[in-house]
Amino acid sequence: MGGKQPERDVGAPLMLTHREAAKKLGISRSSLYKLLRRGELHNLDLGPQEKRIALSECEAYVKKLIAAQADGQAKAS
């Protein structure tokens, strides 16, 4: 039975292109580049002209924004 193995669904990619990361975050690529320049997100350098952003990095950024907003609302109350 040397047949081909069935492909497995590996789910969402763990690394995103800049375009994919911007789309996932719901922001423009320009805004994404600003976040990268400010150090709020970080590139994974996979080689010349090949950069990715970890999905976990995007998720952590959103959690940080939510926490900061919740903290700001608690202080305003």
Q: Are strands 44-47 and 50-54 parallel, antiparallel or unpaired?
A: antiparallel
In a domain, 70, yes or no: yes
CATH code of the domain containing 51? 1.10.1660
Give me the pLDDT at residue 5, please. 66
DSSP 13-32: -SEE-HHHHHHHHTS-HHHH
Query: What range defines the domain where residue 61 resides?
Result: 15-76
Q: Do 32 and 25 contact (CB within 8 A), yes or no? A: yes
Count of domains for the chain:
1
Give me the pLDDT at residue 14, please. 92
Which residue positions in the chain have pLDDT lower than 70? 1-3, 5-9, 74-77
In a domain, 52, yes or no: yes
In a domain, 9, yes or no: no
In a domain, 1, yes or no: no
In a domain, 3, yes or no: no
**Tokens coding 46:** 């996979």
Closest CA to 21 of 38, 34, 10: 34
